[in-house]
Amino acid sequence: MRTTDFSKAPRRAQAEAMFIGSTRYNSLKEWAILSMRWRTFVKRMKAMPGYCWHKVYWEPPYTLGTIAYFDTMEDLLTIARSPEHRQLMRWVADGTDDQATAGFIRLYRAEPHGYTNGIWRAEDTSMAHIEEYTPLPGDTGPKPVDDPASEIR
């Protein structure tokens, strides 16, 4: 069900800012060096106001990435100024490809509306889908979810 109230949903659903980043390291040796710096950084990040949740992902052979959620974009940007983050980034992006050969960072802001169901729904505990799809550009009139003619083919 469409909503702007995520107060009963998990903390990460209440976040307004999301970070996704990934680094392609050269070998397991770099992972070992990273692990010491990473633990210190994560401890600091979790203690910062506005931290909601994070998850690390792996893509073979040596790419590690992070998805992290924060209450606000300011909270997200604040952790980037911590000494732990600065040391980590200066090590991985030191002007050489000794540690890694690629990396990216993207930042996203949440739209105020979204969808909740059941016990995560603030308005009630219904487990129901929306009646009409969110309009796409070019839609003419409502597109009922229960109408197969509304599907994209």
For the chain, the domain total comes to 1
101, part of any domain: yes
Each residue's pLDDT tens digit, 117-127: 999 999 999 99
Q: Is residue 124 in a domain? A: no
Residue 2 lies in a domain: no
CA distance readout (Å), 137 to 74, 140, 142, 153: 32, 9, 12, 16
For 80, the domain range is 17-109
For the chain, the first-to-last Cα distance in angstroms comes to 24
Task: Give residue 153's pLDDT.
Answer: 79
Share of the chain above pLDDT 90, in %: 94
Give which of 113, 95, 91 is closest to 16, Cα–Cα: 113
- Within a domain: 119: no
Say if 94 falls within a structural domain: yes
Question: CATH code at 93?
Answer: 3.30.70.100
Q: Residue 114: inside a domain, yes or no?
A: no
> In the predicted model, what is the mean pLDDT of residues 26-46?
96
Residue 67: closest CA among 104, 111, 39, 34:
104
